[in-house]
Amino acid sequence: MAGKEWIVIADPHLSGEGGDVEAMVDLISQVQPAKQSILFLGDLFHIWAGPQKFHTPPVQRLLVALWTFKEKGGTSHLVVGNRDAFFSPQGSRASVHLPFDVISPEFDQIDSPAGMILAHHGDLVNQLDEKYLAWRKVMNRWWFRGLFQLMPSLVAQKVMFKVEAKLKGTNRAFKIQFPEEQWRSYVLEIATTMSPALLLVGHFHPEQVIETKAGNTLALVIPGWLENHRFVKISPDLSYETLDTLA
């Protein structure tokens, strides 16, 4: 991946209210496989699950576009978000039907000529959101995954949407404003323990990039693609620009 640009996309929430699958397919068609790779920072769909039996037609449509990108020599990474359920790291039997070169349940670490890029969805930034953090632990339990695997696909999809609606109500207060203090503590901890040159997170849907510096780490909160089809292009020297189209 040395020398490639990264097209960083956060929180498309495709198939949800305002989520536009065809616009994302169009963006992917504009990415140049020889010089650009794609990094999704989670919440790719409004709610979806990795196992093939749960894939809806919109999910299948997007995966076809990503397979086409891959066949042209393109590389894509997925960092798992809080609306992305039951994903296994790439290379496991459970992930062979997916086009992503890397699937990261927590942190994705990317080596670049200018230093290490560390990517995370961002849902662990606010440690005050206790109800959500408790739900996150349950969702990652093996028995919870097994329970859904036993359900017929349509039943499981309906249950997932109901769970998402309930979760949305429990943590609404934590989404009203950006948790500035929690964010700065998070960046400082990552800078101290992992020392990336660049830290990328999504989850919070800001209109513009939020930029924070700690030590030698530059941390960016990436705008939500859902609201304005906005994304960020990272150059090999780790400079960046915010875009809404590659055309």
Q: What is the pLDDT of residues 105-144, one digit of tens each?
A: 899 999 999 999 999 999 889 877 766 666 666 566 665 6
- pLDDT value for 46: 80
Q: Name 14's Cβ contacts closer than 8 Å, sequence gap at least 6.
A: 20, 21, 24, 44, 45, 46, 58, 62
pLDDT band at 233 (very low <50, low <70, confident <90, very high): very high
Domain ranges of the chain: 5-243
Q: What is the pLDDT of residues 185-207, one digit of tens each?
A: 999 999 999 999 999 999 999 99
Cα separation, 89 vs 73, whole angstroms: 21
Q: Are 23 and 228 in contact, with CB atoms under 8 Å apart? A: no
91 pLDDT higher than 70? no
- pLDDT value for 124: 87
- Structure-model confidence comparison of residues 146 and 88, the more confident one: 88
- pLDDT value for 136: 64
- pLDDT value for 196: 98
pLDDT band at 85 (very low <50, low <70, confident <90, very high): confident
Q: Are 23 and 58 in contact, with CB atoms under 8 Å apart? A: no
pLDDT mean over 159-180: 62
- pLDDT value for 77: 96
> Which pTM value belongs to this model?
0.85
Q: Cα separations (Å) of 139 from 52, 53, 145?
A: 18, 18, 7
166 pLDDT higher than 70? no
pLDDT over 90 for what percent of the chain? Answer: 59
When the pLDDT of each residue in the chain is averaged and rounded to a whole number, the result is 84
Answer yes or no: CATH 3.40.920.10 is held by domain 5-243. no
Radius of gyration of the chain (CA): 17
Q: Are 140 and 148 in contact, with CB atoms under 8 Å apart? A: no
When mean pLDDT is compared across 2-11, 40-49, 58-67, 125-134, the lowest value belongs to 125-134
Q: Name 239's Cβ contacts closer than 8 Å, sequence gap at least 6.
A: none
pLDDT band at 1 (very low <50, low <70, confident <90, very high): very low
